[in-house]
Structure 1
Amino acid sequence: MNKKYVLFAILPFALSACQSFPTHLKKNEAMIVETQSPDLLQTLSDYTWIYQSSEKLPPIVLDLDAQKRIFIKTGCNNLMGAWQFDGKQINTAPLAATQMLCPPEFMAQEHTAFQFFNQAQLNASINISNPVHPLLTLENKAGQKITFKGEIKPEAKYKSTGEVVFLEVSPNKKPCPTDNTQQCLQVKQVKYDKQGIQTQIDQSWQVLPVEIQGYQHNTKQSKIIRVKRFNTKPQTATPEYAYIYDMTIEEEVAPQK
């Protein structure tokens, strides 16, 4: 690729404007509950919660992280703010949102999510009869209920924070090293400095022996993507990695042969 600069997406970690809670939430009471209910709180933050309202729409994805930040992917704009748990309810501060135009049905879903989660008091219950995919049911003051299916976060699954890695992905696959009847991705590792300027790229392609979870490959495009890499066997001398797709940094149409 000819591009040497990359524009990183602005991540919603600076939430100082969204931290004020409504008066119904008393912080000291929430802290007491957190001390008394560590398992429930751990479950809330260990999973990503997914609600699919329609096959025609992207899912609503809810992330309640351990730093008490809430992130909501709506299929259009992303919502972000802060949350606390008082033992029965998830309470949210006023939400901020990215600003992007989307198809009307996507924006309608975003509006629904904003109305449900903004400065809300949500009764919360978790069904863990299926520990692989627990269910989180939230109910607002109007009696509207939404049930989310849990997907364990890789940080919880692999008990580590993971390493952020940038990979250039070739449009062409090669036979997998462990099973040549299967096709695997070819990748090069890319490095950037703090200003987002590309500083290094591997000279040769490497065949990745595992899939990049969440990544949709396109044989007509070359891409540079950001992934999180987790060592699944940290106790062994030879690491084995799992790769989780995060976002696409650059893409261009591959030359036709």
Structure 2
Amino acid sequence: MYKIVAMILMPLAGLGCSTVQQHNDPSAINASDGKTIYLEVAAHTQLCPGMAQQFECLQVREVSYDQQGHKVIKNPEWHNFYNEIEGYTHRPSEQALLKLKMYEIAHPAADGSSVRYVFDQYVERKQSR
């Protein structure tokens, strides 16, 4: 019985790994195609619904800047961020505004994201209580 379950689950265990390999493949993106975006990341995370494996999602909201350079929060509601941000490590005690590069992936893996997010710099950081 255990051998049957293991034979069924083993091929599934590697599904999430293909995106990591894809991210390390420099041919997967064209650097000139990157778009700069700003995401505000909440200090708290939340369990991601509807995922085969349960994990915590970052809570984010998109930010832009107007003509005068003032921060504009497009939607004040936090939402689940299902992707990873390369080069960024979340700190549960900190809310942060991040400058990211977003790349479209030409040929994503069947189970992978079609977008790659890469940390550029912190714009703001504040300790959460």
TM superposition score category, shorter chain reference = 0.5 to 0.7
Structure 1 residues 206 and 180 mapped into 2: Cα distance closer, same or farther (>3 Å)? farther
Unmatched 5+ residue regions in structure 2?
A: 1-20
Deviation at 1:152, TM superposition (A): 6.3
Distance 1:190 1:179 in 2: 30
- The equivalent residue for 1:203 is 76
User: Following superposition of structure 1 onto structure 2, how do residues 173-184 of structure 1 map, counting pairs within 5 Å?
Assistant: 173-177=45-49, 178-179=51-52, 181-184=54-57
Indicate which of 95, 98, 105 corresponds to 1:222.
95
SS of structure 2 residue aligned to 1:218: coil
The Cα offsets for residues 115-140 of structure 1, whole Å up to 9 and x where unpaired, read as xxxxxxxxxxxxxxxxx9xxxxxxxx
- The equivalent residue for 2:39 is 167
Structure 1 residues 234 and 189 mapped into 2: Cα distance closer, same or farther (>3 Å)? farther
State the one-letter code of the partner of 2:84.
E
User: Following superposition of structure 1 onto structure 2, how do residues 72-91 of structure 1 map, counting pairs within 5 Å?
Assistant: none
The Cα offsets for residues 185-226 of structure 1, whole Å up to 9 and x where unpaired, read as 111000112442113332211111111000011100101000
More strand by share: 2
State the one-letter code of the partner of 1:215.
Y
The Cα offsets for residues 12-38 of structure 1, whole Å up to 9 and x where unpaired, read as xxxxxxxxxxxxxxxxxxxxxxxxxxx
Structure with more relative contact order (C-alpha pairs < 8 Å, separation 6 or more) = 2
Identity of aligned residues (%): 26
Q: Name the TM-score, length of structure 2 as normaliser.
A: 0.66
- The equivalent residue for 2:16 is none
The Cα offsets for residues 31-86 of structure 1, whole Å up to 9 and x where unpaired, read as xxxxxxxxxxxxxxxxxxxxxxxxxxxxxxxxxxxxxxxxxxxxxxxxxxxxxxxx
SS of structure 1 residue aligned to 2:96: strand
User: Following superposition of structure 1 onto structure 2, how do residues 1-257 of structure 1 map, counting pairs within 5 Å?
Assistant: 156-159=27-30, 160-177=32-49, 178-179=51-52, 181-233=54-106, 240-255=114-129
Instruction: Please identify runs of 4+ aligned residues in structure 1 that moved more than 4 A.
Output: none
Distance 1:181 1:200 in 2: 29
Higher radius of gyration, 1 or 2: 1
Unmatched 5+ residue regions in structure 1?
A: 1-131, 133-150
- Residues matched between the structures, number: 101
